Amino acid sequence: VQPARTPGQRAGLTREAVLAAARQVLTEFGLDGLSMRAVAQRLNVAPNALYSHVTNKQTLVDLLLDGVLADVDPDVATDEPRAALHALMTITYDTLLRHADLLPTYLARQGARGPNAQRLGDIVHARLRTAGVRGARADQAQHVLIIHTIGFAAFASHPNVDSDGEPGRSVTAMRRDYTTSLTWLLIGLLEAR
């Protein structure tokens, strides 16, 4: 809530300010409420002013998506390779679910290939290396672990009722499903040669 600007006065927008406003709109009104006009309103600015800082809505959303993975803290307590991979991916899962609003669109969009996704990929790659996995197999494994994690998080982010209206699996049951599936993946990856 800024003091009103006189005509011709700059609003002093930046790309980061637009992103921050978008994040606020998102947490307050959800994905359905995330419109360019709503973001502009929060910044006390005309809707089309945003286009000086962001090329369009899709890339804005992509930036938000990639930003979610920036919150992943790659430090894990153990150095045992398999446990470290398990912990790292579980942390990623939990981080993603903390931004459940965005997850529905995650796999579908460019966010899963942004710079932070690549950073996470590199971290996974390093962990795989200490686990003795390298080369093309490491590239595959890195890809697989991340897609698997985002996919499960996206599914879990969604209110869960099946077609009969019966309640489906609970959030905790789905988290358990994820962690055991992760265990299975790591067994197949690390034990079969």
57-69 helix and 115-130 helix, angle to the nearest 10 degrees: 30
Query: Which CB, 26 or 189, lies closer to DNA?
Result: 26
Separation in Å, CA 76 to CA 20, 85, 86, 89, 96: 29, 9, 10, 10, 17
Which of the listed partners (its own copies, DNA, none) does 177 bind, with a CB threshold of 5 to 8 Å by partner kind?
its own copies
90 binds its own copies (CB under 8 A): no
Q: Residues in contact with its own copies, total (CB under 8 A)?
A: 44
For residues 30 to 59, the per-residue mask of contacts with DNA, x marking binding by CB under 7 A and - elsewhere, is: ---xxxxxx-----xxxxxx-xxx--xxx-
Beta-bridge partners for 161? 167
> For residue 36, is it left (φ>0), alpha (ψ between -120 and 50) or beta?
alpha
Among its own copies, DNA, none, residue 115 binds (CB under 5-8 Å by kind)? its own copies
Near its own copies by CB under 8 A: residue from 40, 114, 128, 131: 114
> Which pair of structure tokens corresponds to residue 3?
């003091």
Question: Does 72 help bind its own copies (rule: CB under 8 A)?
Answer: no
Radius of gyration (C-alpha) of the chain in whole angstroms: 20
Least Å distance between CB 177 and its own copies?
Answer: 5
> With binding defined as CB under 8 A, does residue 119 bind its own copies?
no
Q: What is the DSSP letter of 133?
A: -
CB of 61 to its own copies, least distance (A): 12
Name the minimum Å distance from CB 63 to its own copies: 10
Q: Is 155 an interacting residue with respect to its own copies (CB under 8 A)? A: yes
String of DSSP letters for 8-53: T------HHHHHHHHHHHHHHHHHHH--HHHHHHHTTS-GGGGGGT
Q: Does 151 bind its own copies (CB under 8 A)?
A: yes
| Interacting residues toward DNA by CB under 7 A | 5, 7-8, 10-13, 33-38, 44-49, 51-53, 56-58
